[in-house]
Amino acid sequence: MLTAPDDAATMLASRILELEKERERLITVIDILQEISGTLHFVDILQTIARRLGETFGLDRSSIFLADRGGRTVRLVASYEDPSIRNLVVDLARYPEIQRAMESGETVFIADATADLSLQHVKGALARRKVKSITVVPIKYRGAAIGCIFLRTFKDGDALSEADIRFTQTVADLTAKTLRNAHRYETLIRRTKGIASDAEGTHRADIQRAALVAYLQRLLDGFAQADRAALEQLLPNTSAAELQRLVGVTMAVLAEEAKG
């Protein structure tokens, strides 16, 4: 039986271990913030978060899914184990734990994945991968789940503690805020490009109109200096095809003038 000093030493050692883990989590958050501060493209941001969570917890799988329209599918947009996956459509019927988290907006934790009745259809695959636990943390915006963080541990690895899950929830909140900022940025870029495109089109039209006026002025000046009587005698003999050809030449000249 442990003596009182031994109990105190054990408690102190346990507390020190908890503080060290808390320090590691804070460092991970700082690292994530530093990495994603260099980009506002949401795919790069999500890939960074998935990778950092996978590295921090030593996971079998760390993925981020975003909600799809209709509610029957989600999109795998970031994956720790396969970074090349960026926009894979996934049927929620295959992942009931993800569906539960998305529909309820609450974290789903499955301590023993191979024993969970809802995952019996993939029990063999989970056993081959030596999967231990599954944690699905929803990413929420204005109270609604817009995606989720999916974490899967090895049987021989460390289990996620309650503090680890709370940390992942903090990362999910950070992800939601970052996604909102990235969305605003990309929307702004699209609008800016649209405005620039409209302005460019307006400017081009103004140049074409100026070129048309200048061309007509030159044409009228040339006509005034020519023998009008001779031109009027030739006009009735001009064929419709020839007039059409002259129109084509005129439009070609306008296009060249508009280029500046």
For residue 28, which amino acid is it?
Answer: T
User: What percent of the chain is modeled with pLDDT above 70?
Assistant: 65
pTM for this entry: 0.64
Contact between 66 and 146 under an 8 Å Cβ cutoff? The reply is yes
Q: What is the pLDDT of residues 174-208, one digit of tens each?
A: 888 877 776 664 565 566 565 555 556 566 666 65
Decide if pLDDT at 162 tops 70: yes
User: Given pLDDT bands bounded at 50, 70 and 90, which one contains residue 231?
Assistant: very low
pLDDT confidence of residue 13 = 75
What are the backbone angles phi and psi of residue 189, rounded to the nearest 5°?
Answer: -65, -45
In the chain the domains, ranked by start, together with CATH numbers, are 12-189 (3.30.450.40), 202-258 (no CATH)
Mention every residue, 6+ apart, whose C-beta is less than 8 A from residue 67.
74, 75, 102, 145, 146, 147
Instruction: Tell me the three state secondary structure of residue 109.
Output: strand
